[in-house]
Amino acid sequence: MRTQQGPFPMETTYTWVTESEGSTRMTLRNRGEPAGFSKVVAPLMKLAMRRANRKDLAKLKALLESQSA
């Protein structure tokens, strides 16, 4: 997934790998090159994005596991 919107262009990659019967690992990677003012606040944005991703993934995991139970 790619975006040109927001503070800087970004690419997000999702990878899904079957680990065992009924178990799948999802990896999420965000890449982008900040420019201008975004370059100054990039370390803070990185932390905020990581926190938001973890929260979203925990919610997704809970939803998926509650549906398979």
pLDDT 10s digits, 17-65: 999 888 888 888 888 877 777 778 888 888 888 898 889 889 988 998 8
pLDDT 10s digits, 26-36: 888 888 877 77
| Residue 37: predicted pLDDT | 76
| Residue 59: predicted pLDDT | 92
Mean pLDDT value across residues 2-19: 83
| Residue 6: predicted pLDDT | 67
Residue in the block written with tokens 């999702």: 14
Distance (Å, whole) CA 65 – CA 38: 37
Domain residue extents for the chain: 2-68
Looking at the DSSP bridge assignments, the partners of residue 13 are: 29
Question: Could you count the other beta carbons within 10 Å of the beta carbon of residue 1?
Answer: 8
Question: Could you count the other beta carbons within 10 Å of the beta carbon of residue 15?
Answer: 9
Strand residues in the chain grouped as ranges (E) = 2-3, 10-20, 23-32
